[in-house]
Amino acid sequence: MRLQLTNAEKRFGAMQALAPVNLDVQDGEFISIVGPSGCGKSTLMRMVAGLLPVSGGTVQAGGRMVTGPVTELGIVFQQPVLLDWRNALDNVLFQVEMRGQRPGPWHDRALALLDQVGLKDFAASYPHALSGGMRQRVAIARALVHEPGLLLMDEPFGALDALTREQMRIDLETIWLRRKMTVLFVTHSVDEAVLLADRVVVMSPRPGRVEQVLTIDLPRPRGLAARRNPEFLRAEEQITGIFLDRGVLSRGGTAHRG
């Protein structure tokens, strides 16, 4: 699904949360959005989903103007938000039921998705018996079961430990390479943004604006060795430099005497 944001901005009363954003995302493209807390990353995503109205400008998804909730998408949040009284399979199928469809015809597809995210043997397990990473895998399968053209991910790995987060990053790329849906991936992690994306949108502090859009020329798939690739190091350094220039990061290294 192609996305087009034209001077799309958001205000909450007198506060400008998001300055006018211009962004053209091609069908099947993986876009990471990275920036400091409060810069409007999640606000931008909710505008794309039609969960927040724009205060100015326009958002188009699949060639249609976004004026309300977009149904041809999947969303994964930082917390998986699973139903405790449903097992993993039934949590995935809940997406189908919420769309007014019978779950039966989608049973095999839901099982196949659980297999793809490494949970084939946990389909009957309830959320309390799953680790944080496993619960997030269920949430990803739920977001994909209806074959959306657009996947929105808002800090989906932020609550995970470092090792699980790295594995989830690798697993997400594998799923995307198979399906090639359009992805908007919001993160605070520069490493994660670079390793996943075709392009990285770097945002400024509030009011959030697009500082730069970087094309990432790293071969796929991007496993653990990708961190040693000169292109990864170049992109990471460039993004870090932007945040240093804007005062989001400090270089440190200065000793303070009492």
pLDDT tens by residue, 102-117: 888 889 999 999 998 8
Token pair 């959306």: residue: 148
Instruction: Please indicate, yes or no, whether residues 125 and 211 belong to a single structural domain of this protein.
Output: no
- At 213, the pLDDT band (50, 70, 90 cuts) reads very high
Q: For 43-66, b where at least 16 C-beta lie within 10 A, e where not — what string?
A: bbbbbbbbebebeebebbbbeeeb
> Is pLDDT of 256 > 60?
no
* Sequence-separated (6 or more) residues with CB below 8 Å from residue 101: none
Is residue 64 located within the same domain as residue 154?
yes
Please check the confidence at residue 249 and state whether its pLDDT lies above 80: no
Q: Give the number of C-alpha atoms closer than 13 A to the C-alpha of residue 97, restricted to the C-beta side.
A: 11
**Residue 194 tokens, joined:** 């670079």
pLDDT at 202: 96
The answer on pLDDT for 84 being more than 50 is yes
Mean pLDDT, the chain, whole residue set: 91
Q: Are residues 165 and 241 in the same domain?
A: yes
The reported pLDDT for the residue numbered 247 is 80
With a pLDDT cut of 70, the percent of the chain lying above it is 98
| Residue 162: its H or E element | helix 162-179
**DSSP tag of 221:** S
Q: Within 10 Å of residue 217's Cβ, how many Cβ atoms?
A: 11
Residue 253: band (very low, low, confident or very high) from pLDDT cuts 50, 70, 90: low
Q: Which pLDDT tens digit goes with each residue over 25-81?
A: 999 999 999 998 888 899 999 999 999 999 999 999 999 999 999 988 999 988 888
In tens, the pLDDT along 228-240 reads 999 999 999 999 9
Least confident of 20-24, 96-100, 113-117, 248-252: 248-252
Both 66 and 156 in a single domain?
Answer: yes
Q: Phi, psi (5° rounding) for residue 241? A: -60, -40
Q: Quick one: 235 and 190 in the same domain?
A: yes
Q: What pTM was computed for the model?
A: 0.91
| pLDDT over 80 at 10, yes or no | yes
Domain stop point among 147, 166, 186: 147
How far, in Å, CA of 223 to CA of 23, rounded? 28
Residues in the chain: 258
Does pLDDT of 176 surpass 60? yes
Residues 50, 168 within the same domain: yes
Query: Based on the domain organization, do 241 and 170 belong to the same domain?
Result: yes
Mean pLDDT of 11-17: 92
DSSP 101: -
| Domain span holding position 112 | 78-147
Average pLDDT over residues 165-181: 91
Residues 236 and 197 in one domain: yes
Average pLDDT over residues 176-195: 94
* Packing angle of the helix pair 107-116, 162-179 (nearest 10 deg): 130
